[in-house]
Amino acid sequence: MEGVDYLSDERQKAQFDVEAMKVAWAGSPQALQLSNRMANLVANDPAFEKFTRPMMGRKELLKNTLRKAAHGWKLIVDLRLTEEAKWLRLYIDEPAYTDLHWGMFIPAIEGQGTEEQKKKWLPLAQKMQIIGCYAQTELGHGSNVQGLETTATFDPQTDEFVMHSPTLTSSKWWPGGLGKVSTHAVVYARLIVAGEFHGVHGFIVQLRSLDDHSPLAGITVGDIGMKFGNGAYNTMDNGVLRFDHVRIPRNQMLMRVTQVTKEGKIMQSNVPRQLIYGTMVYVRQTIVADASKALSRAVCIATRYSAVRRQFGSRDGGPETQVIDYKTQQSRLFPLLASAYAFRFVGDWLKWLYMDVKERLAANDFSTLPEAHACTAGLKSITTTATADGIEECRKLCGGHGYLVSSGLPELFAVYIPACTYEGDNVVLLLQVARFLVKTVSELGYKKPVGTTAYMGRVASLMQNNCAVQTAEGWLNPGAIVEAFESRAARMAVRCGRQLAEFENPEEGFAELSVDLVEAAVAHCQLIVVSKFIEKLQQDIPGKGVKQTLEMLCYVYALFLLHKHQGDFLATGYLTPKQASLANDQLRTLYSKVRPNAIALVDSFNYTDHYLGSILGRYDGNVYPKLYEAAWKDPLNDSDVVDGFPEYVQPILKQKLRTAKL
């Protein structure tokens, strides 16, 4: 029935103040209010309906996205939204060219443009009189920026750069917004002056006419085709771009760091090149924040549906058992719930880290940069991997119905997974972390490790101490947990360092041991997430039972990791099998404690049904009637008899296939 809350019993079980938890999740009462306002603005505007999206053909789909983007921009302008604009775009929940315009094109100019360039281009971009994208990757070149092939050759005769795509593999490939919408792009190309290569730089290039939108002379541009999923990222016009000797004025090279003069002289400004790492810290911090959003959506859907769904265990003809009561379900679902919270808080901490790095950079203090860079690279990697896997796990936790697009989970998965690849492939990033860890270990004798590697300073004791936990309750101790994770990470890093030392050629050793190095990097990054969760709990968190509930989740997160990776903890000799087993016992107990709070914990994310986009995850739990209703909206149900029956089915039934035209 409409208007009935089928999950109200579940909500009454909660042992904490849900409204206060909402504040804790949002970050502040103000953030909650703002986010709430934008979420409801979108949810209540029929222009942003998204149910029919997966059924649309590609053209219709993109046109629909253009309409939504225009409507969203109109709202932003009309309502004079500033900070809120990004929330609005978030809740519209549809990848669009605007993501790249605001998220990459404008920041690239802000970060790499001179004052003059910023003055010229930013106002145009901020009013959307031009629409831009970020054209870096090429058909044959992804992570390795130095391998890009596109050339920008300086022509001193005309004071221009000639942009050119010398090979097929040099075609720009993947940039979002490039294919069908952007009028401009920041294009990364090899700077060639007087026949010499001077590194890869960004250039502002106009691609399309501002009047009729047709591609300019010498420019071949289009969409690269369908991607994973139904709607998903197919609302984005990821593009292909080739240049045939396209000329741009010299002043469209972004020259904040490197300048080319009229005479073809290369000059380096005194702007520190490390600035680029500051930007990477920023971008990856937003990716970690997005991971917690995506994972929490999936967990919200799976948790609510696990309370609705019943299976087996009926006694005397009574109702079957709610699947959320099965330990097998809890052991897969609750660690993901805990991970969503863990990633939320480590994301917050990363925001702080970025501010800290920014301040230091402004004061020419680069000392924490390598550590901050390694730490954000690693957190980007482990949170996005866990989220991608976690969304698919949530889908499986919904049984067969999770496979329906109307569950919301297939789309959420398909739209999320690129995060494991973009802004640094997750394995490549872990190798960077490993490189930093090994360096940290090798320099311990004379260089004090800082920030998230500070624990390495206590390496001697971490190599020797053994775990003191003797009971399952003994694991409910932040000190014991942090020490376990520190010891595991330190021992794995030191071990890698020792193995590397056996190689004559360090690079060969690094290549040969890369798998173990990746494992050591994961151990270090998991330690960071666990520690930051624990640090968060040392703060004041208002609201009845809120802090206690978060403590419970923190233990679930840590002990789940400990069990999953018990091989590491045992192999390094820090834990005995008995202690690992006690941790597992405690984990089981914790699941029972999470159980009554589960629905309230996902309610605390404060997601609207529109944003969730899932029948299984409906707030009111009224799943089956709505699934049934939704089925009839499939185009196949427009008629009782299917298109193609007379041509392709009837001849079979009537044994007249031989004469049928197929």
User: Scanning residues 399 to 418, which ones bind a second copy (CB under 8 A)?
Assistant: 399-400, 403-406, 410, 414, 417-418
Near a second copy by CB under 8 A: residue from 171, 381, 440, 531:
171
Give the residue from 493, 461, 472 showing the smallest Cα distance to 580: 472
Q: Does 1 bind a second copy (CB under 8 A)?
A: no
Which positions from 127 through 166 interact with a second copy, judged by CB under 8 A? 127-131, 137, 139-144, 147
Near a second copy by CB under 8 A: residue from 270, 515, 538, 539:
515
Number of residues engaging a second copy in binding (CB under 8 A): 136
Near a second copy by CB under 8 A: residue from 6, 102, 366, 422:
422
Q: Does 505 bind a second copy (CB under 8 A)?
A: no
Contact 466, 414 (CB under 8 A): no
Contact 590, 555 (CB under 8 A): yes
Q: Does 419 bind a second copy (CB under 8 A)?
A: no
Pairing relation of β-strands 219-223 and 239-243?
antiparallel
The total number of residues shown for the chain amounts to 662
Q: What is the DSSP annotation of 315-343?
A: -TT-PPPBGGGSHHHHHHHHHHHHHHHHH
Please state the closest distance from residue 539 (CB atom) to a second copy, in A: 33
Contacts of 291 (CB under 8 A, 6+ apart): 343, 347, 383, 384, 386, 387, 419
Phi, psi dihedral angles at 132 (to 5 degrees):
-125, 160
Please state the closest distance from residue 93 (CB atom) to a second copy, in A: 18
Query: How far does Cα 441 stand from its chain's mean position?
Result: 30
Which positions from 339 through 398 interact with a second copy, judged by CB under 8 A? 392, 396
Q: Does 19 bind a second copy (CB under 8 A)?
A: no
Burial class (CB in 10 A: 0-12, 13-18, 19+), 510: middle
Please state the closest distance from residue 81 (CB atom) to a second copy, in A: 14
Known catalytic residue: 423?
yes
Nearer of residues 194 and 210 to a second copy, judged by Cβ:
210
> CB atoms < 10 A from the CB of 615, how many?
25
- Which residues are registered as beta bridge partners of 260? 266
Near a second copy by CB under 8 A: residue from 84, 159, 516, 535:
516
Give the residue from 360, 375, 579 showing the smallest Cα distance to 469: 579
Question: Among the candidate windows 23-31, 150-158, 446-454, 623-631, which touches a second copy by CB under 8 A?
Answer: 623-631
Give the residue from 627, 233, 255 showing the smallest Cα distance to 405: 627
Q: Does 657 bind a second copy (CB under 8 A)?
A: yes
Phi, psi dihedral angles at 549 (to 5 degrees):
-65, -40
Q: Does 588 bind a second copy (CB under 8 A)?
A: yes
Question: Among the candidate windows 26-34, 367-375, 442-450, 505-513, which touches a second copy by CB under 8 A?
Answer: 505-513
Which positions from 556 through 575 interact with a second copy, judged by CB under 8 A? 565-573
Please state the closest distance from residue 535 (CB atom) to a second copy, in A: 28
Q: Does 327 bind a second copy (CB under 8 A)?
A: yes
Which positions from 178 through 237 interact with a second copy, judged by CB under 8 A? 179-181, 183, 210, 212-215, 222-230, 233, 237
- Active-site residues: which are they? 423
